């Protein structure tokens, strides 16, 4: 985590969404009839939305324990268990694998990997970290189960827009492509690839932003890591829609509209989301939580949401926990009970 009226466009957008593929359109009739929603080969639900969590961020608490505590507080088991790794760290770990083996509540791993840690994107793309990739490939194949893989989430914040830096936007795309193609060549067929952006209006306005995208053939899901403030007048104040619709400074499509128009047919994952107030500035978050379901029903491409929970963010000044106030926790618990998150893994 890091923290105009257009009638013709909206008409066109409606047509695009309608043609984006039945797999991305929740079946209201199926839900009403109580039909079981299941995932396909790319873990896209046939209806409804996958529910996930990451907890214990920026603390020493083991992430599996933190997630179980969060699940107990929220009242729902996370279908997606979000974890973070870098460089040569050996993963999936025993603890992560154990979370997928829980007979009562099996979970799917959502793994972030900063493969270029200690190096740079251009060097990875040139093959200088192939040993690292091959070692992961062996572990992934041994793991066997399907999992989501994000390479260097929120790359915008790491771009060095200087020729030869090895960290230009085009280098990220090349790194991503090389890694996925090599994993596939090594026989890894259980990784579902996600490219996860920040969706920040500052970065989306950069002339290099479009160069980050690695290509539809190596991307299975488009991800977004985005947050909103519940303190009126504070940075990024708003509701759930606001974290989806930030537009580039100077104009252009908001993130969700960009995803469904430029990459129609790709499922969208809100790979990190949450509502925050400054530490010590207790403010109820229920308005944000209460706005989630209506937005999901209007945005059929969103097929997964993963809450990031922590009492302090990476800067130490924002509380993104669901239980910072009693009203916040009650609203989140109500959200968690919604049947729209009922999805069975596997066909």
Query: Is residue 116 situated within a structural domain?
Result: yes
Query: Is residue 67 situated within a structural domain?
Result: yes
Q: Which residues contact 30 (CB under 8 A, 6 or more apart)?
A: 37, 46, 47
pLDDT at res. 40 = 97
Number of domains in the chain: 1
Q: Is the peptide bond before 92 cis (omega within 30 degrees of 0)?
A: yes
Q: How many CB atoms lie within 10 A of CB 65?
A: 12
Let me know: does 153 contact 223? Beta carbons within 8 Å: yes
Sequential DSSP letters for 141-189: HHH-S-EEEEESSSGGGG---STTSS-SHHHHHHHHHHHHHHHHHTT--
Which domain covers residue 256, as residue numbers?
33-87+99-341
Which candidate, 197, 199, 225, 230, places its Cα nearest to that of 332? 230
Identify the bridge partners of residue 229 per DSSP, sorted by sequence position.
Answer: 237, 276
User: What percentage of the chain reaches a pLDDT higher than 70?
Assistant: 90
pLDDT band at residue 14 using 50, 70 and 90 as cut-offs: very low
pLDDT at res. 233 = 94
Query: Is residue 12 situated within a structural domain?
Result: no
pTM (predicted TM-score):
0.90
Instruction: Name the residue with higher pLDDT: 203 or 33.
Output: 203
pLDDT in tens, 92-125: 999 999 999 988 888 999 999 999 999 999 999 9
Query: Is residue 92 situated within a structural domain?
Result: no
CA distance 147 to 100: 10
Query: Is residue 6 situated within a structural domain?
Result: no
pLDDT in tens, 30-44: 443 468 999 999 999
pLDDT in tens, 59-71: 999 999 999 999 9
Query: Is residue 94 situated within a structural domain?
Result: no
For residue 335, give the CATH number of its domain. 3.20.20.80
50-55 and 302-309 beta bridge pairing: parallel
Q: Where is average pLDDT lowest: 84-93, 181-190, 311-320, 324-333?
A: 311-320
- Mean pLDDT taken over the chain: 91
Query: Is residue 3 situated within a structural domain?
Result: no
The single-letter DSSP state of residue 251 is S
Q: Residues 314, 243, 302, CA angle at the centre, nearest 5°? A: 110
pLDDT at res. 314 = 85
Which candidate, 278, 272, 300, 285, places its Cα nearest to that of 334? 285
- How many C-alpha atoms does 157 have within 13 Å on its Cβ side? 13
Query: Is residue 346 situated within a structural domain?
Result: no
Tokens of 35: 């039909």
The yes-or-no verdict on residue 22 having pLDDT over 70 is no
């Amino acid at each position: 985590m890091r923290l105009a009226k257009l009638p013709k466009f909206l008409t066109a957008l409606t047509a695009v969404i309608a043609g984006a593929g039945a797999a991305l359109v929740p079946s209201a009739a199926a839900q009403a009839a109580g039909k079981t929603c299941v995932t396909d080969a790319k873990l896209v639900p046939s209806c409804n939305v996958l529910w996930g969590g990451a907890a214990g961020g920026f603390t020493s608490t083991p992430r599996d324990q933190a997630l179980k505590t969060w699940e107990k507080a929220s009242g729902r088991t996370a279908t997606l268990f979000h974890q973070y790794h870098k460089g040569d760290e050996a993963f999936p770990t025993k603890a992560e694998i154990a979370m997928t083996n829980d007979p009562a509540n099996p979970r799917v791993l959502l793994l972030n990997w900063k493969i270029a840690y200690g190096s740079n994107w251009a060097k990875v793309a040139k093959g200088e970290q192939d040993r690292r990739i091959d070692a992961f490939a062996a572990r992934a194949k041994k793991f066997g189960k399907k999992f989501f893989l994000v390479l260097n989430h929120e790359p915008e914040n790491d771009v060095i827009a200087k020729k030869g830096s090895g960290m230009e936007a085009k280098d990220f795309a090349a790194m991503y492509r090389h890694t996925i193609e090599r994993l596939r060549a090594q026989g890894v067929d259980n990784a579902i690839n996600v490219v996860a952006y920040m969706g920040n209006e500052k970065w989306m306005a950069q002339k290099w932003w479009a160069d980050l995208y690695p290509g539809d053939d190596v991307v299975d899901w488009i991800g977004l890591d985005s947050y909103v403030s519940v303190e009126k007048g504070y940075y990024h104040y708003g509701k759930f829609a606001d974290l989806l619709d930030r537009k580039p400074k100077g104009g252009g499509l908001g993130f969700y509209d960009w995803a469904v128009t430029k990459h129609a047919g790709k499922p969208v994952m809100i790979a990190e989301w949450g509502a925050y107030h400054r530490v010590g500035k207790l403010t109820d978050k229920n308005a944000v939580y209460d706005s989630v379901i209506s937005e999901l029903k209007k945005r059929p491409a969103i097929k997964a949401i993963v809450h990031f929970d922590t009492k302090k963010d990476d800067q130490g000044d924002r509380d993104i926990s669901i239980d910072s106030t009693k009203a916040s926790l009650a609203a989140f618990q109500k959200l968690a009970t919604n049947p729209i998150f009922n999805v069975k893994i596997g066909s």
